[in-house]
Amino acid sequence: IGRSKPLIVANWKMNMTLQEAREFFSGLTDAPYEHCEAVICPPAPLLYPLKELMQQAGISLGAQNLHEKPKGAHTGEVHGELLFELGCSHVIIGHSERRAAGETDEQVAAKVHQAIGNSMIPIVCVGETQLQRELGLTKEVIRTQVESALAGVTEERSPFIIAYEPVWAIGTGKTAQPSDAQDIHREIRQMLAEKKSIGFANRVPILYGGSVSASNIQELCAREDIDGALVGGASLQAHSFEAILKAL
């Protein structure tokens, strides 16, 4: 619903060297991709050196994180204005690995605000842990995460992407059943409609993330409310990344 072409976002996490990243791009054989939109989020120091290779491949540049405040005395952090200047169109916010390390819903909201204020599209990750799932808290957890992230969205027309990533499915080889994922995606769209508007909810792409590969992407994206995927492990090799795009 959220978009006409599926959106595939690669999250390289803390992987790749500059050398390996260059090899990745020379290994791509099918770029640019017409039938889908592709974004790669490399580690921050690789953003600038990869900009041209990304452009040539027709792939958009994304960051994995940004600081919740504008530039200032925050040693080791990166502000949104700089990420935009370096060519980022997207930025991942609230990944479960960052939430597990202490990132709060309030920080996520502030980061969303910074991303939008610096003309980037926030990709907000939400999802329940295995324990929360077992306790029947899935919907509640996701509602809190979605609603608090929306606090950072001041304008109805602001761009916004949600990535539903059940924590138990990340890097584990376990994927949610496409029908279960679809149910959650529909719930998320309903939450967006309740908090903002039906128009807003229908415009927001909702991605699925968690052990996505060429063998499950098609079945996932065939579902009404699954608009693409956030891909970790399978995005690190040119061939497995392209296999996902080709399978769409």
Number of residues that bind ligand PEP (CB under 6 A): 13
Please state the φ and ψ torsions of residue 91, each to the nearest 5 degrees.
Answer: -150, 130
Catalytic residue among 37, 97, 165, 242: 165
Choose, by CB under 6 A, the member of 231, 244, 245, 248 that binds ligand PEP.
231
- Whether 20 is catalytic is no
The total number of residues written for the chain in this structure = 248
Choose, by CB under 6 A, the member of 32, 58, 171, 199 that binds ligand PEP.
171
Choose, by CB under 6 A, the member of 11, 60, 114, 148 that binds ligand PEP.
11
28 DSSP 8-state letter: -
Cα(54)–Cα(49) distance, integer angstroms: 10
Only one of the segments 45-53, 164-172, 183-191, 197-205 lies at the binding site for ligand PEP (rule: CB under 6 A); that segment is 164-172
Label residues 136-157 b or e (16+ Cβ within 10 Å = b).
Answer: eebeebbbebbebbbebbeeee
Q: Is 209 in the site for ligand PEP (CB under 6 A)?
A: yes
Angle, helix 18-26 to helix 47-57, in steps of 10 degrees = 0
Q: How far is the CB of 65 from ligand PEP (least distance, A)?
A: 12
Contacts for 76 with CB less than 8 Å, ≥ 6 apart: none
Residues 54-93 that bind ligand PEP (CB under 6 A): none
**CA 38 to chain CA mean position, Å:** 11
Q: 88-93 and 60-63 as β-strands: parallel, antiparallel, unpaired? A: parallel
Taking a C-beta distance cutoff of 8 angstroms, is the pair 89, 95 a contact? no
Q: How far is the CB of 160 from ligand PEP (least distance, A)?
A: 18
- Whether 95 is catalytic is yes
Q: Is 230 in the site for ligand PEP (CB under 6 A)?
A: yes
Residue 148 annotated as part of some ligand binding site = no
Q: Examine residue 32 and say whether the peptide bond preceding it is cis (omega within 30 degrees of 0).
A: yes
Residue 136 annotated as part of some ligand binding site = no
Q: Is 236 in the site for ligand PEP (CB under 6 A)?
A: no
Q: Is 10 in the site for ligand PEP (CB under 6 A)?
A: no
Q: Is 211 in the site for ligand PEP (CB under 6 A)?
A: yes
Residue 174 annotated as part of some ligand binding site = no
101 DSSP 8-state letter: T
Known binding residues for substrate are: 11-13, 171, 211, 232-233
Chain residues in the site for ligand PEP (CB under 6 A): 11, 165, 170-171, 209-212, 230-234
Residues labelled catalytic: 95, 165
